[in-house]
A and B are shown apart, each in its own frame.
Chain A
């Protein structure tokens, strides 16, 4: 009986010690982790709006660029990041985050749309849990670059702005290369991107125009 009590007390005590240790270290680094996440998000926004495609090494430099060139608005419960030109005056683009269910888990991306809302400036996929080497290739440059310049003026018969079809097949200007071997991921991307783009054009864009 005494032994059992000792075991329980012992376990309780060391659990307490280690929990305290871990929490302490977490507390000390929390700020840094949050700052990292914020920096990463800023970099994604800047890249989607085509303001800086290169990675900026200095945190301070990125921060000042972000503060000069990006304004944030909330429309329909969504954060819209407004990109400004060099002087910080004219609007060059709008960026918003979109996510959908991929083949394995959620995929999130930042969509950049031109200031006159006619075409895409860029797309950055910043979060996914797709299979490495297959679905996870959506983050590769060649895939993301395809979307740059996509016109938002015309929709095809099924109401989509673009389609993804197997690489190597006959292509029109709104038909891009899917990822070979990752049909599930490609289908998911096609579906949720089109849905989000429709949402932007039909509901967010009118409100944005009214406001500015």
Chain B
């Protein structure tokens, strides 16, 4: 299978046109839960970016040797090894955030985007484009979640990254901290983007 487009195109298409969240609504499970604080979202997204880029390189570098039948197992092994590495690094260098993230770091393993990019792209392409593809997809994903977390933290805690930005008289929206707020925010965000750019995200029905 030929490489789809130049390196730059591969990198940028994940950001917008092929944005995993806006277009396919994939992979949000592991991160949506921690989007009520910007700092937690940043760390989770950094973890995903690392895992996705590294997994794509590894899967791609091994693509000619991996027997087809066991490729899912091999991919799972590769992905989970990188996730453990991320987990260890967060524990070592960001101990407080590691407590707040709890089990969610481990759940990057089941983030459908990681498996999805390995299967759809890295399995058939050389390492460098695969890495760029993973990087672009992960960045596009992080972009959407960061926007959501900024809105949630501002309305829910009246702060961004822990710095209070709203006046004292501001009534905090408790719902934004809790689960329903995340669902509403993502739903509305997708609605706005799709209404604005209908040609990009036409539903194929």
Contacts and interface: CB of A to CB of B under 8 A. Distances in A.
Interface of A: 3, 6-7, 10-11, 14-15, 18-19, 21-22, 25-26, 29, 32-33, 36-37, 39-40, 129, 132-133
Contacts of A39: 95
B78 A18 contact: yes
A26 B85 CA distance: 8
A81 to B, nearest CB: 20
Interface in B71-124: 73-74, 77-78, 81, 84-85, 88-89, 91-93, 95, 102
5 contacts: A11-B74, A14-B78, A15-B77, A22-B88, A37-B95
A33 B93 CA distance: 8
Contact of B92 (A6, A7, A11, A36): A36
B67 interface: yes
A6 B77 contact: no
Nearest to A13: B65
B65 A18 contact: no
A25 B177 contact: no
A209 B92 CA distance: 40
Contacts, number: 56
B66 A10 contact: yes
A6 B177 CA distance: 51
A25 B178 contact: no
Chain B, interface size category, equals 20 to 34
B85 A25 contact: yes
B65 A32 contact: no
Closest 10 CB pairs of A and B: A36-B95, A29-B92, A18-B81, A32-B92, A133-B178, A7-B67, A33-B91, A33-B92, A7-B70, A22-B84
B174 interface: yes
A208 B95 CA distance: 34
A11 B73 contact: yes
Given A14-B74, A18-B78, A133-B174, 6 more contacts: A7-B70, A14-B62, A22-B85, A36-B91, A36-B95, A133-B178
A26 B67 contact: no
Q: Looking at chain B's contact residues, is the secondary structure mostly helix, strand, loop, or mixed?
A: helix
A26 B89 CA distance: 8
Contacts of A15: 77
Nearest to B84: A22
Given A11-B74, A18-B77, A40-B95, A25 B67 contact: no
A15 B80 CA distance: 11
Interface string B41-83: 0000000000000000000001001110110011001100100
A36 B92 CA distance: 7
B101 to A, nearest CB: 11
Contacts of A133: 174, 177-178
A29 B74 contact: no
A19 B84 CA distance: 10
B93 A32 contact: yes
Given A33-B91, A40-B95, A7 B174 contact: no
A62 to B, nearest CB: 13
A92 B84 CA distance: 43
Contacts of B73: 11
B67 A29 contact: no
A67 B69 CA distance: 58
Nearest to B95: A36
A82 to B, nearest CB: 26
